[in-house]
Protein backbone atom coordinates (compact mmCIF):
# COMPACT_ATOMS: atom_id res chain seq x y z
CA UNK A 1 0.00 0.00 0.00
CA UNK A 2 1.21 3.50 -0.84
CA UNK A 3 0.78 6.71 1.12
CA UNK A 4 0.25 10.08 -0.54
CA UNK A 5 1.86 13.08 1.14
CA UNK A 6 1.60 16.78 0.38
CA UNK A 7 4.34 19.39 0.72
CA UNK A 8 5.16 22.91 -0.34
CA UNK A 9 6.30 22.48 -3.93
CA UNK A 10 9.87 23.58 -3.29
CA UNK A 11 10.19 21.39 -0.18
CA UNK A 12 9.59 18.02 -1.84
CA UNK A 13 13.26 16.95 -1.76
CA UNK A 14 13.55 17.87 1.91
CA UNK A 15 10.47 15.79 2.75
CA UNK A 16 11.95 12.82 0.88
CA UNK A 17 15.21 13.19 2.77
CA UNK A 18 13.39 13.27 6.11
CA UNK A 19 11.25 10.22 5.33
CA UNK A 20 14.27 8.22 4.21
CA UNK A 21 16.17 9.23 7.34
CA UNK A 22 13.27 7.80 9.35
CA UNK A 23 12.35 4.72 7.28
CA UNK A 24 15.34 3.91 5.07
CA UNK A 25 15.57 3.91 1.28
CA UNK A 26 11.89 3.47 0.55
CA UNK A 27 10.64 4.15 -3.01
CA UNK A 28 9.13 7.51 -3.94
CA UNK A 29 7.30 8.95 -6.91
CA UNK A 30 6.37 12.58 -7.44
CA UNK A 31 2.82 12.64 -8.78
CA UNK A 32 1.98 16.36 -8.65
CA UNK A 33 3.43 19.77 -7.96
CA UNK A 34 2.95 19.30 -4.21
CA UNK A 35 2.10 15.59 -3.96
CA UNK A 36 4.37 12.58 -3.56
CA UNK A 37 3.80 8.84 -3.19
CA UNK A 38 5.85 6.66 -0.82
CA UNK A 39 5.63 2.89 -0.49
CA UNK A 40 6.72 1.06 2.63
CA UNK A 41 5.89 2.88 5.87
CA UNK A 42 2.33 2.70 7.16
CA UNK A 43 0.38 5.93 7.23
CA UNK A 44 0.11 5.90 11.03
CA UNK A 45 3.90 5.53 11.29
CA UNK A 46 4.40 8.53 9.03
CA UNK A 47 1.83 10.51 10.99
CA UNK A 48 3.56 9.76 14.29
CA UNK A 49 6.92 10.93 12.90
CA UNK A 50 5.31 14.13 11.58
CA UNK A 51 3.45 14.84 14.82
CA UNK A 52 6.64 14.56 16.86
CA UNK A 53 8.62 16.86 14.54
CA UNK A 54 10.94 14.13 13.23
CA UNK A 55 9.45 14.87 9.79
CA UNK A 56 8.82 18.61 9.31
CA UNK A 57 8.17 19.18 5.60
CA UNK A 58 5.03 17.02 5.17
CA UNK A 59 1.67 18.79 5.51
CA UNK A 60 -0.97 16.16 4.82
CA UNK A 61 -1.20 12.36 4.57
CA UNK A 62 -3.66 9.89 3.11
CA UNK A 63 -3.67 6.17 2.31
CA UNK A 64 -3.93 5.80 -1.47
CA UNK A 65 -6.82 3.63 -2.65
CA UNK A 66 -6.91 4.36 -6.40
CA UNK A 67 -5.16 6.08 -9.30
CA UNK A 68 -7.67 6.83 -12.07
CA UNK A 69 -7.95 8.48 -15.46
CA UNK A 70 -11.36 9.78 -14.38
CA UNK A 71 -13.78 9.24 -11.52
CA UNK A 72 -16.10 6.23 -12.05
CA UNK A 73 -19.90 6.51 -12.05
CA UNK A 74 -21.56 7.32 -8.76
CA UNK A 75 -22.39 3.82 -7.54
CA UNK A 76 -18.90 2.48 -8.36
CA UNK A 77 -17.28 5.51 -6.77
CA UNK A 78 -19.23 5.03 -3.53
CA UNK A 79 -18.38 1.31 -3.50
CA UNK A 80 -14.69 2.11 -4.01
CA UNK A 81 -14.66 4.46 -1.02
CA UNK A 82 -16.96 2.59 1.37
CA UNK A 83 -15.22 -0.73 0.70
CA UNK A 84 -12.09 0.64 2.37
CA UNK A 85 -13.78 1.42 5.70
CA UNK A 86 -14.04 -0.95 8.68
CA UNK A 87 -17.68 0.04 9.28
CA UNK A 88 -20.44 1.85 7.44
CA UNK A 89 -20.16 5.57 8.27
CA UNK A 90 -22.91 8.07 8.92
CA UNK A 91 -20.75 10.83 7.42
CA UNK A 92 -17.34 11.39 5.85
CA UNK A 93 -15.20 14.45 5.28
CA UNK A 94 -14.20 15.02 1.66
CA UNK A 95 -11.18 17.08 0.65
CA UNK A 96 -10.55 17.80 -3.03
CA UNK A 97 -7.84 19.88 -4.64
CA UNK A 98 -6.04 20.18 -7.94
CA UNK A 99 -2.79 21.17 -9.65
CA UNK A 100 -4.87 23.07 -12.20
CA UNK A 101 -6.68 26.38 -11.85
CA UNK A 102 -9.57 26.08 -9.43
CA UNK A 103 -10.24 24.42 -6.10
CA UNK A 104 -11.30 20.89 -7.02
CA UNK A 105 -14.90 21.71 -6.17
CA UNK A 106 -16.36 19.64 -9.01
CA UNK A 107 -14.69 16.51 -7.61
CA UNK A 108 -16.00 17.29 -4.14
CA UNK A 109 -19.56 17.50 -5.43
CA UNK A 110 -19.30 14.29 -7.48
CA UNK A 111 -18.09 12.37 -4.42
CA UNK A 112 -20.75 14.06 -2.29
CA UNK A 113 -23.51 12.99 -4.69
CA UNK A 114 -22.19 9.42 -4.92
CA UNK A 115 -22.11 9.01 -1.15
CA UNK A 116 -25.46 10.74 -0.62
CA UNK A 117 -27.08 8.07 -2.80
CA UNK A 118 -25.83 5.53 -0.26
CA UNK A 119 -27.12 7.52 2.70
CA UNK A 120 -23.72 8.85 3.77
CA UNK A 121 -23.47 12.51 4.74
CA UNK A 122 -20.54 14.61 3.53
CA UNK A 123 -18.82 17.58 5.14
CA UNK A 124 -15.55 19.32 4.36
CA UNK A 125 -14.02 18.60 7.78
CA UNK A 126 -14.48 17.35 11.35
CA UNK A 127 -15.23 13.69 10.60
CA UNK A 128 -13.39 10.60 11.83
CA UNK A 129 -12.53 9.53 8.27
CA UNK A 130 -11.32 11.79 5.45
CA UNK A 131 -11.61 11.09 1.73
CA UNK A 132 -8.93 12.86 -0.32
CA UNK A 133 -9.22 13.50 -4.06
CA UNK A 134 -6.33 15.09 -5.93
CA UNK A 135 -6.23 15.91 -9.64
CA UNK A 136 -2.93 16.32 -11.46
CA UNK A 137 -2.55 16.76 -15.25
CA UNK A 138 -1.89 13.02 -15.53
CA UNK A 139 -4.15 11.28 -13.01
CA UNK A 140 -6.80 11.51 -10.33
CA UNK A 141 -5.75 10.09 -6.99
CA UNK A 142 -8.12 8.90 -4.29
CA UNK A 143 -7.17 8.29 -0.69
CA UNK A 144 -8.88 7.61 2.60
CA UNK A 145 -7.47 8.07 6.05
CA UNK A 146 -8.35 8.61 9.69
CA UNK A 147 -8.44 12.29 10.53
CA UNK A 148 -6.07 11.56 13.41
CA UNK A 149 -3.39 10.47 10.89
CA UNK A 150 -4.08 13.13 8.23
CA UNK A 151 -2.13 16.01 9.91
CA UNK A 152 -4.58 18.61 8.61
CA UNK A 153 -8.32 19.01 8.22
CA UNK A 154 -7.83 20.94 4.97
CA UNK A 155 -7.31 19.68 1.38
CA UNK A 156 -3.64 18.83 1.07
CA UNK A 157 -3.01 20.86 4.21
CA UNK A 158 -3.89 24.06 2.34
CA UNK A 159 -5.62 25.94 5.14
CA UNK A 160 -7.71 28.90 4.00
CA UNK A 161 -8.41 31.66 6.51
CA UNK A 162 -10.67 34.68 6.08
CA UNK A 163 -8.97 37.96 5.16
CA UNK A 164 -11.16 40.29 7.21
CA UNK A 165 -10.62 44.01 7.72
CA UNK A 166 -9.72 43.35 11.36
CA UNK A 167 -6.49 41.65 10.26
CA UNK A 168 -3.38 43.54 11.32
CA UNK A 169 -0.91 41.57 9.19
CA UNK A 170 -0.59 38.45 7.08
CA UNK A 171 1.59 36.90 9.77
CA UNK A 172 -1.56 36.36 11.84
CA UNK A 173 -2.38 33.39 9.63
CA UNK A 174 0.72 31.54 10.81
CA UNK A 175 -0.17 31.63 14.49
CA UNK A 176 -3.85 31.01 13.84
CA UNK A 177 -3.00 27.98 11.69
CA UNK A 178 -0.63 26.60 14.34
CA UNK A 179 -3.28 26.92 17.07
CA UNK A 180 -5.88 25.14 14.91
CA UNK A 181 -3.61 22.47 13.41
CA UNK A 182 -1.97 21.42 16.66
CA UNK A 183 -5.03 21.92 18.85
CA UNK A 184 -3.23 24.35 21.15
CA UNK A 185 -5.05 25.45 24.28
CA UNK A 186 -3.84 28.73 25.74
CA UNK A 187 -4.41 29.16 29.48
CA UNK A 188 -7.45 31.17 30.46
CA UNK A 189 -6.35 34.63 31.53
CA UNK A 190 -2.72 33.78 30.78
CA UNK A 191 0.18 36.17 30.43
CA UNK A 192 1.92 36.10 27.03
CA UNK A 193 4.94 37.84 25.55
CA UNK A 194 5.11 38.49 21.81
CA UNK A 195 8.73 38.99 20.68
CA UNK A 196 9.13 41.12 17.56
CA UNK A 197 5.47 42.05 17.80
CA UNK A 198 5.21 44.93 15.27
CA UNK A 199 2.71 45.63 13.79
CA UNK A 200 0.82 43.41 16.22
CA UNK A 201 -0.69 40.51 14.26
CA UNK A 202 0.32 37.78 16.68
CA UNK A 203 -0.57 40.05 19.61
CA UNK A 204 -4.11 40.35 18.23
CA UNK A 205 -4.46 36.57 17.91
CA UNK A 206 -3.19 36.08 21.47
CA UNK A 207 -5.76 38.60 22.72
CA UNK A 208 -8.48 36.70 20.86
CA UNK A 209 -7.45 33.66 22.93
CA UNK A 210 -7.77 35.52 26.21
CA UNK A 211 -4.14 36.40 26.88
CA UNK A 212 -2.78 39.55 28.47
CA UNK A 213 0.05 40.42 26.09
CA UNK A 214 3.40 42.16 26.43
CA UNK A 215 4.16 43.19 22.83
CA UNK A 216 7.94 43.67 22.59
CA UNK A 217 9.22 45.62 19.60
CA UNK A 218 10.86 49.04 19.06
CA UNK A 219 8.50 49.47 16.11
CA UNK A 220 4.88 50.56 16.12
CA UNK A 221 1.70 48.65 16.86
CA UNK A 222 -1.29 49.01 14.59
CA UNK A 223 -3.56 51.82 15.80
CA UNK A 224 -6.46 49.37 16.09
CA UNK A 225 -4.65 47.81 19.06
CA UNK A 226 -4.27 51.13 20.87
CA UNK A 227 -6.45 51.52 23.92
CA UNK A 228 -6.61 47.79 24.66
CA UNK A 229 -5.65 47.58 28.32
CA UNK A 230 -4.73 43.93 27.86
CA UNK A 231 -1.82 44.93 25.60
CA UNK A 232 1.40 46.39 26.97
CA UNK A 233 3.59 47.73 24.20
CA UNK A 234 7.24 47.50 25.26
CA UNK A 235 9.07 49.65 22.69
CA UNK A 236 12.44 48.02 23.22
CA UNK A 237 14.49 45.01 22.16
CA UNK A 238 13.86 41.54 23.52
CA UNK A 239 17.23 41.51 25.28
CA UNK A 240 16.55 44.74 27.16
CA UNK A 241 13.01 43.68 27.97
CA UNK A 242 14.12 40.45 29.60
CA UNK A 243 16.90 42.24 31.50
CA UNK A 244 14.36 44.58 33.12
CA UNK A 245 11.08 42.66 33.29
CA UNK A 246 10.19 40.32 36.18
CA UNK A 247 6.88 38.98 34.89
CA UNK A 248 6.55 35.19 34.68
CA UNK A 249 4.77 34.27 31.45
CA UNK A 250 2.51 31.39 30.48
CA UNK A 251 3.14 31.79 26.76
CA UNK A 252 5.98 33.14 24.62
CA UNK A 253 5.78 33.57 20.85
CA UNK A 254 8.49 34.64 18.45
CA UNK A 255 8.10 35.48 14.75
CA UNK A 256 11.23 37.63 14.55
CA UNK A 257 13.18 37.95 11.30
CA UNK A 258 16.25 36.02 12.41
CA UNK A 259 17.92 32.86 11.20
CA UNK A 260 17.09 29.59 12.91
CA UNK A 261 19.99 29.61 15.34
CA UNK A 262 19.46 33.21 16.51
CA UNK A 263 15.72 32.67 16.98
CA UNK A 264 16.34 29.52 19.00
CA UNK A 265 18.88 31.27 21.21
CA UNK A 266 16.42 34.09 21.81
CA UNK A 267 13.95 31.46 23.02
CA UNK A 268 16.53 30.23 25.55
CA UNK A 269 16.63 33.77 26.97
CA UNK A 270 12.83 33.74 27.08
CA UNK A 271 12.78 30.37 28.86
CA UNK A 272 14.08 31.97 32.05
CA UNK A 273 10.91 34.10 32.14
CA UNK A 274 8.48 31.31 31.17
CA UNK A 275 6.69 29.18 33.74
CA UNK A 276 7.48 25.48 33.79
CA UNK A 277 5.03 23.81 31.43
CA UNK A 278 4.60 27.13 29.63
CA UNK A 279 3.94 27.14 25.90
CA UNK A 280 6.38 28.46 23.29
CA UNK A 281 5.66 29.05 19.60
CA UNK A 282 8.50 30.13 17.31
CA UNK A 283 9.03 30.26 13.56
CA UNK A 284 12.45 29.06 12.49
CA UNK A 285 13.12 31.03 9.34
CA UNK A 286 15.56 29.78 6.78
CA UNK A 287 15.44 28.59 3.26
CA UNK A 288 18.86 28.93 1.69
CA UNK A 289 20.71 25.88 0.47
CA UNK A 290 19.84 23.62 3.39
CA UNK A 291 16.72 24.61 5.35
CA UNK A 292 16.41 21.13 6.84
CA UNK A 293 19.76 21.13 8.59
CA UNK A 294 19.27 24.76 9.66
CA UNK A 295 15.96 23.89 11.29
CA UNK A 296 17.53 20.87 13.00
CA UNK A 297 20.23 23.09 14.48
CA UNK A 298 17.54 25.39 15.83
CA UNK A 299 15.66 22.45 17.36
CA UNK A 300 18.84 21.13 18.98
CA UNK A 301 19.35 24.52 20.65
CA UNK A 302 15.73 24.68 21.84
CA UNK A 303 16.02 21.20 23.37
CA UNK A 304 18.30 22.60 26.09
CA UNK A 305 15.28 24.20 27.83
CA UNK A 306 12.19 22.90 26.02
CA UNK A 307 10.44 19.70 25.04
CA UNK A 308 9.53 20.08 21.36
CA UNK A 309 5.90 19.04 20.83
CA UNK A 310 5.51 19.85 17.12
CA UNK A 311 7.65 21.14 14.27
CA UNK A 312 6.15 21.50 10.81
CA UNK A 313 6.15 23.64 7.70
CA UNK A 314 2.54 24.81 7.64
CA UNK A 315 0.64 26.23 4.69
CA UNK A 316 1.21 29.86 5.72
CA UNK A 317 4.87 29.39 6.63
CA UNK A 318 6.56 29.77 3.24
CA UNK A 319 10.28 29.23 4.04
CA UNK A 320 9.75 28.60 7.74
CA UNK A 321 9.11 25.86 10.27
CA UNK A 322 6.62 26.49 13.07
CA UNK A 323 7.80 24.94 16.33
CA UNK A 324 5.60 24.38 19.38
CA UNK A 325 7.44 23.54 22.58
CA UNK A 326 6.89 23.26 26.32
CA UNK A 327 9.18 24.71 28.96
CA UNK A 328 10.72 21.99 31.11
282 contact partners, CB below 8 Å, separation of at least 6:
253, 254, 255, 263, 264, 267, 302, 322, 323, 325
Around Cβ 99, how many Cβ atoms within 10 Å? Answer: 17
* DSSP class of 267: H
Whether residue 191 lies in the annotated active site: no
Please, which residues bridge with residue 192 across strands?
Answer: 213, 251
H/E stretch holding 131 reads strand 129-135
Which residue of the set 25, 90, 285, 289 is catalytic? 285
Residue 80 · residue 88 · CB < 8 Å: no
Burial per residue of 208-231, b for 16 or more beta-carbon CB atoms within 10 angstroms, e otherwise: ebebbbbbbbeeebeeebeebeeb
Residue 178 · residue 281 · CB < 8 Å: yes
DSSP reduced 3-state for 121: strand
Catalytic positions: 285
Amino acid sequence: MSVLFSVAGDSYDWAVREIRAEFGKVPFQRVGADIGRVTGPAVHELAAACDSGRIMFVRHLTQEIASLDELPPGYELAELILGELPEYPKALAVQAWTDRAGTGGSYYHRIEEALAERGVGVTRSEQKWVVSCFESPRTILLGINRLADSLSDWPGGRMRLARGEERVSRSEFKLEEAIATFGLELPSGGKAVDLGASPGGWTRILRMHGQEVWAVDPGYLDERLHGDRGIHHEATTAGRFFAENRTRFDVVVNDMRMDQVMSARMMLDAAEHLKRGGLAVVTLKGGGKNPLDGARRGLDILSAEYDVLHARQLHHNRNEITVVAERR
